[in-house]
Structure 1
Amino acid sequence: MDTNKPQKKKKWFLPLVVSLLLSTLLIFITVFTSSSSSSAIFYRPRVKKHLPHFVESKLKISETSKNPVPRLAYLISGSVGDGGSLKRTLKALYHPRNQYAVHLDLEASAEERLDLARFVKEEPLFAKLGNVRAMVRANLVTYRGPTMVTNTLHAAAILLKEGGEWDWFINLSASDYPLVTQDDLLHVLSSIPRNLNFIEHTSDIGWKEDQRAKPVIIDPGLYSRQKSDVFWISQKRSVPTAYKLFTGSAWMMLSRPFIEYILWGWDNLPRTVLMYYANFLSSPEGYFHTVICNAEEFQNTTVNHDLHFISWDNPPKQHPHFLVMDDFQRMVDSNAPFARKFGRNESVLDKIDSELLGCNADGYVPGGWFNTQANGSATVPDYSLKNITTLRPGVGAQRLKHLVTSLISAEDFHAKQCT
């Protein structure tokens, strides 16, 4: 028995050694030929987790311009029969530093809208500088519904995309008219912060809660090519609780940062409020006001004034009364840069042209930016542009300066912001 033990050991020892050698070889092959992903299973490094990047985090309030002379972006809108008045208002407001969008709504005939487009394209000064554009895709606009809001947003988007750098957006109608020159206006605005928003507003909506906020209206202008009045749904709704309602004037001067915010809407407030005001009577008198006063970034940028002289009946009706010659001195004494509402070719406009603006024969307002040179071979004067940052303010600048200073230096200035 003892002599056989060494032989038995040899029988199982040799296979064991061979097996160990093969196993070792396989381990080496596995280690050195395996993929990096397989190795990572055993040797996974600790990687710092990064938060995902959202586009909203990149959308911040833009910085205001450092240029000493500001630039303005105007929307001038009208309806059927307003083509002539719109052209006159545009010329009286013209300055080469500014940008302009003009719009006749779909109630105006195709011929009238085409005439305005040709005027913009062929007027020598506009063609030379390219800062006036007609909104070719016209909208149907009803004041009592949300279509005026959508048209304003449409124009602001065009001016933001195509108008280069500007500082404030001003919405006017063909029945508005300036009471100061653009040199006057730009001179006064050059001395104030460019994040300010001139928007008349209040949270005391009073009777409007029952007669405008709670009723649900439908504006046919959102889906029809024919203008008609809004109509009501019998069921009423409660006022919002997620945000506070504000009301005020439909005419305003808004800063570029706020226009960017209301178009981009990176926290969704502008879109949420817009959907609510789609069924709100006279939404132009509440949409922008509600957004700006519920947005933390802009609550403290409001100046509670619409920069207009407007003569209302007492008690106020849906529209103000038309301004006539008897209103001239009250317009001047208001120190406001704009007035409304004027009838077509109203005689008081000629008085404003001669005594307040100094319009030339072509309807443009002289300033530091051009000289008129007679040219016997041309049907219109040849405008020789100077340095367009040269301003020549007059007495209108003194009046406007008094108004703006009294507004932003008043003791209750901050108390009037979004209250």
Structure 2
Amino acid sequence: MKPTTGTAAAAAAFDRRWLLPLAIGSALSLLLLVLLTTFPLPFPFPSSAASRPPNPTLFVEHKLAPSPPSTASPPRFAYLISGSAGDAAALRRVLLALYHPRNLYILHLDAEAPDSDRANLAADLADHPVIAAAANVHVIQRANLVTYRGPTMVANTLHAAAAFLYTNQHPHLEWDWFINLSASDYPLLTQDDLIHVFSKLPRGLNFIDHTSNIGWKEYQRAKPVIIDPGLYMKKKADVFWIPQRRSVPTAFKLFTGHNRCPTAQICCFFSLTSLLITLGTVKTSS
């Protein structure tokens, strides 16, 4: 029994040692609470500092001003959409995705596609109420054979550009950028968004790296001689190179970044795979 009594006495003595600090701490806390509720503090609370308006020099929003509305008319795009045999449905799909009553469109199914595809495509678009009312889509009936990477591909592009330039004689059909697409492309932006973005740009803006310093392209692009079967055959075949090479022309300089055609318009090419828009001014060669 004695060990038990000694243990209880030691525990009671240990508990009494905490009574004095606990009493002093409680008294100080009560006194501090009374002082805080009775007398105002000489310094503001942190909440009052947070309620003050922020320093305007720390932000840039007050320096930003909305851009004034543009007085120029929205830009107009001229589209060439090309395809081959079996691309009539895809061509129509791309056209409807790109369509805007303000733009101009030329559709070209090359000579490898049957004439019935061109006729059915033209009839289908003629029955479309919006396209028929705007009358801004033209399906080329006398198609050419187009070879990928060949001169016939360039000739097809220039043919469409020439047709669009003919429409430029009418003020209400003047266009600003020429866009060359294929039936396998698909737009990443709506036409309203594209028109909105380009309406803020100068109409003569050039995005192509236009230079006569062609470097390695002199040997790889300028000197090889390419044969395009689409120029003399009725069946499509790939281009081929002959062993002989030609010398670089001396009567004029070669430039990279744009095709040569007699216009001061701007050419714009973009595709789904590259996610890029490449623009370049096409100037009259002297």
Q: Which runs of 5+ in 1 are unaligned?
A: 1-65, 251-260, 265-297, 312-330, 339-403, 405-419
Task: Point out 4+ residue stretches in structure 1 off by more than 6 angstroms.
Answer: none
Largest Rg, 1 or 2: 2
2:225 touches 2:246 (CA, 8 Å); kept in 1?
yes
1:200 touches 1:306 (CA, 8 Å); kept in 2?
no
| 1:187 matched to 2:196 | yes
Query: Bigger shift: 130-139 or 111-120?
Result: 111-120
What aligned pairs does 1:392-411 form with structure 2 within 5 A after superposition? Answer: none
User: What fraction of aligned residue pairs are identical, expressed as a percent?
Assistant: 60
Aligned residue pairs total 205
When normalised by structure 1's length, the TM-score is 0.44
Q: Which residue of 1 aligns with 2:113?
A: 108
1:199 touches 1:302 (CA, 8 Å); kept in 2?
no
| 1:141 matched to 2:104 | no
Q: Cα distance 1:309–1:202, how it changes in 2: closer, same or farther (>3 A)? A: farther
Cα deviation per residue 1:237-291 (whole Å; 9 max; x = unaligned)? 11123333334589xxxxxxxxxx9236xxxxxxxxxxxxxxxxxxxxxxxxxxx
Q: Which residue of 2 aligns with 1:235?
A: 244
Give RMSD over aligned pairs: 3.0
Q: Which residue of 2 aligns with 1:99?
A: 104
How far apart in 2 are the matches of 1:122 and 1:248? 40
Q: Cα distance 1:83–1:309, how it changes in 2: closer, same or farther (>3 A)? A: closer
What aligned pairs does 1:259-270 form with structure 2 within 5 A after superposition? Answer: 262-263=261-262
Q: Which residue of 2 aligns with 1:245?
A: 254
Partner secondary structure for residue 120 of structure 1: helix
Shift of 1:231: 3.2
| 1:216 matched to 2:225 | yes
Partner secondary structure for residue 176 of structure 1: coil
Q: Cα distance 1:210–1:131, how it changes in 2: closer, same or farther (>3 A)? A: same
Q: Cα distance 1:263–1:70, how it changes in 2: closer, same or farther (>3 A)? A: same
1:77 touches 1:103 (CA, 8 Å); kept in 2?
yes
Q: Cα distance 1:185–1:118, how it changes in 2: closer, same or farther (>3 A)? A: same
Shift of 1:197: 3.3
1:74 touches 1:170 (CA, 8 Å); kept in 2?
yes
How far apart in 2 are the matches of 1:197 and 1:107? 35
When normalised by structure 2's length, the TM-score is 0.62
Q: Cα distance 1:130–1:302, how it changes in 2: closer, same or farther (>3 A)? A: closer
Q: Cα distance 1:171–1:306, how it changes in 2: closer, same or farther (>3 A)? A: closer
The match for 2:273 among 300, 306, 310 is: 310
